[in-house]
Amino acid sequence: MTFPVVTRTIHRHIDVDGVKIFYRESIPDRPDAPVLLLLHGFPSASHQFRRLIDVLGTRYRLIAPDYPGFGHTQAPNGFTYSFDRLADATEGFIQRLGLSRFVMYVFDFGAPVGFRLAQRHPEWIAGLVVQNGNAYTEGLSAGARDFIALRPETEGAENTIRDLLTLPGTRGQYESGTGDPELIAPDGWTLDQHFLDLPGRKEAQVALAFDYRTNLGRYDQWQAWLRKHTPPTLITWGSNDPFFPEPGARAYLRDLPDAELHLFDTGHFALEENLADIAPLIAGFLDRIWT
């Protein structure tokens, strides 16, 4: 009887300026395998990519870090939680691993982190996989716009953010917009909530929520970067995302008319419901563009 090859995945911490960054890395069959850097979203961490790593990790080198304030990464007291600082930590992580070229998977928070890295190091980016990672104003729902407009000085603003950090709020991000909620394993939102409930984690998320507006101010820069560098791009998007709706996916085609776009009848965490559809698209994309 022949059994499928099972991916071997290592789990490590690496120190980056006092931040102990946790990451997962698959061990592919060949040392020159294409490299895919997986940048996770809110409110999750690298564990959101576990199934994708299991499926593709024997053929490709998949690397998924946890940002400061997320997952198993440990940040020192006094760490400033902003998207600039998340990008700084991720940049240092990449440099510590000695990565010089990779395809970048940007999802949710991974887009503002990843596009900051792309601006700093365009030579690193061999291509993009964009999954519900927004860089356009039309990719913001009315609810997302209202949330981003919250300011620390506004009465009740912090409570509004903290309501999203509860178990119902976390679970809702997984199930909203899905075609079949029974296909969504409860493990993701349960583990996310565990990390959110650790000391200091909600404060970190409140700070990042208030800082999110800085990303909108950079949309023009990121779009200009896309037009200038025209990276090969695969877009896989959950069309029913309550935060980043379908127009955000189509907007990329203005700046990347050759991008490959695939829309799925699901919500924010598209891999949870459509891994069987998305994983082959990623594999084909990596095989085509990696030279």
> Is 268 annotated in the active site?
yes
> What 3-state DSSP class applies to 287?
helix
Which residue from 71, 72, 64, 112 is spatially nearest to 88, judged by alpha carbons? 112
Peptide bond into 43 cis (omega under 30): yes
Cβ partners under 8 Å of residue 79, min gap 6 = 19, 68, 69, 85, 204
Q: Is-contact 36 103, C-beta < 8 A?
A: yes
E strand map for 86-183 = 102-106, 125-130
Looking up tokens 């929520």 gives 209
Which residue in 13, 47, 121, 268 is the catalytic one?
268
Q: Is-contact 238 108, C-beta < 8 A?
A: no
Distance between CA atoms of residues 66 and 39, nearest Å? 8
Residues taking part in catalysis: 268
